[in-house]
Amino acid sequence: MLEYIVNSLRAILISCKIVIYRQKIPRQMEPSFHGDLRILLLPDLPAVCRHAECGSAKELNNIERGRRFHMARREHFVQIYDLHTHTTMSDGHVSIDDLVAWEHGMGHQLGVSDHVFYEGIFTERDIAAYLEVLRRYPVYRGIEANMEHHFALPDSLDTQIDYVIASIHNMPDGRGGMIPMDSFFKKRSGNMPGYTKNYSSDLNRWYLAHSLRLIEKALANERIDILGHITLMPCCDELYGTKFLLDWENAVLNLCRRHCVALEISGLWRLPNMEMLRRAKEMGILFSMGSDCHEAKDVGVLDYCKLAVDTIGLSEEDFFVPARALY
């Protein structure tokens, strides 16, 4: 009974806060509210907030500092997480100190996800040292693994890791070999003028079929919490709009749902396409936000994630959040 009264009072307080905040909305945003006013009447709106500070004065302070992304049409706030970031400990060009300071200055919850068994962190001893550094900061401790590798870790390390992002960085050629995509990544991010193509467009469907097999195997055998930039392959760009790619995307989404793995919305790569994200939402798949920053200019750049939140109508409960409390 006491719990019921407390919950009722909390709901009333939170509703009051919403009304107060509504008055701050600029005039040009008013038309979009009128169509969705009924959302204010939904009794379960407070339940969407999962954070301890929701409904408190602290949250209002955070809002005033721009710490939360305001979804005007839904009259709700989505905490921005940047869970895909790199530092000088792997192949990033930003120090951990700068990364933490800049992301926190933007009001983001930060997870660091340097590459493992790749680009500077090559051994389990290196991973232990990396995690030791992260323990000194108020950040989630993540890693980004190459899906084409085995990356199971001993429990002593695995239990210190809040989440694992698995991404494809070398495209399977279908003959047991791998096609490096480094130069494609650099070209796509605008950092490589002298690009040389190292794959055959005639084999695009072949690459995708083998990539799907790779993803299926990895999801079945490895610890994976987030599928990173999963459509970042030249064959996805070149086959965009085809039935084949649509079927491939749906097969990936089915695997995400089957294995309860979150689908990353990538700030740097502006992927996956909005239609794939919309279908993922319909399937009840969780999402994750990540800038995939390696350079200072890309730190905390999550415009595409915010666009997806607004376009598809995502709320906080649509996002994967690591289980450990940061503060």
Start-to-end CA span in the chain (Å) = 31
Q: Which residue is nearest to Zn ion (CB)?
A: 167
Asked if residue 294 lies in contact with residue 285, where contact means CB atoms within 8 angstroms, the answer is no
With beta carbons less than 8 A apart as the criterion, state whether 40 and 18 touch. yes
Shortest gap between Cβ of 184 and Zn ion (angstroms)?
A: 12
Nearer to Zn ion, 59 or 298 (CB): 298
Out of 167, 211, 288, 291, the residue judged to bind Zn ion by CB under 5 A: 167
Distance from C-alpha of 266 to C-alpha of 262, rounded to nearest angstrom: 12
Distance (Å, rounded) from C-alpha 7 to C-alpha 268? Answer: 41
- What is the arrangement of strands in the sheet containing 109-115, beginning at the earlier edge strand? 81-82, 109-115, 140-146, 163-167, 226-227, 262-266, 287-290
By CB under 5 A, what part of segment 107-146 binds Zn ion?
144
* Contact between 292 and Zn ion per CB under 5 A: yes
**Residue 249 binding Zn ion, by CB under 5 A:** no
- Count, residues near Zn ion per rule CB under 5 A: 3
Q: Which of these segments, 40-48, 119-127, 163-171, 206-214, binds Zn ion (CB under 5 A)?
A: 163-171
Q: What is the nearest approach in angstroms of Zn ion to the Cβ of residue 123?
A: 20
Of the listed pieces 145-153, 167-175, 265-273, 308-316, which binds Zn ion according to CB under 5 A?
Answer: 167-175
Report how far apart, in Å, the C-alpha atoms of 122 and of each of 90, 116, 260 are. Answer: 9, 6, 28
Which residue, 75 or 292, has its beta carbon nearer to Zn ion?
A: 292
CB of residue 183 to Zn ion, shortest distance in Å: 14
In the bound state with Zn ion, the residue whose beta carbon lies nearer, of 116 and 285, is: 116
For Zn ion, the closer of residues 292 and 318 by Cβ is: 292
Indicate whether 87 belongs to the interface with Zn ion (CB under 5 A): no
| Binding span for Zn ion by CB under 5 A among 98-106, 161-169, 216-224, 264-272 | 161-169
Q: How would DSSP label each residue in 176-187?
A: S-EEE-HHHHHH
CB of 169 vs Zn ion, minimal distance in Å: 6
**Least distance CB 143 / Zn ion (angstroms):** 10
Strands (E), 72-214: 76-79, 81-82, 109-115, 140-146, 163-167, 170-172, 178-180
C-alpha 16/C-alpha 19 separation (Å) is 5
d(CA 21, CA 184): 45
We find the least distance from the C-beta atom of residue 152 to Zn ion, in angstroms, to be: 19
Unique residue bearing structure tokens 């940061």: 326
Compute the least distance from the CB of residue 111 to Zn ion, in Å. 12
Q: Measured from the CB of residue 84, what is the shortest distance to Zn ion in angstroms?
A: 6
CA pair distance 250, 252, nearest whole angstrom: 5
> Among positive and negative, which fits the CA dihedral 34, 79, 263, 182?
positive
Stretch near Zn ion under the rule CB under 5 A, chosen from 16-24, 41-49, 197-205, 284-292? 284-292
46 vs 267, beta carbon nearer Zn ion: 267
- The stretch among 6-14, 22-30, 41-49, 285-293 that binds Zn ion (CB under 5 A) is 285-293
For residue 151, the SS3 value is coil
What residues line the site for Zn ion (CB under 5 A)?
Answer: 144, 167, 292
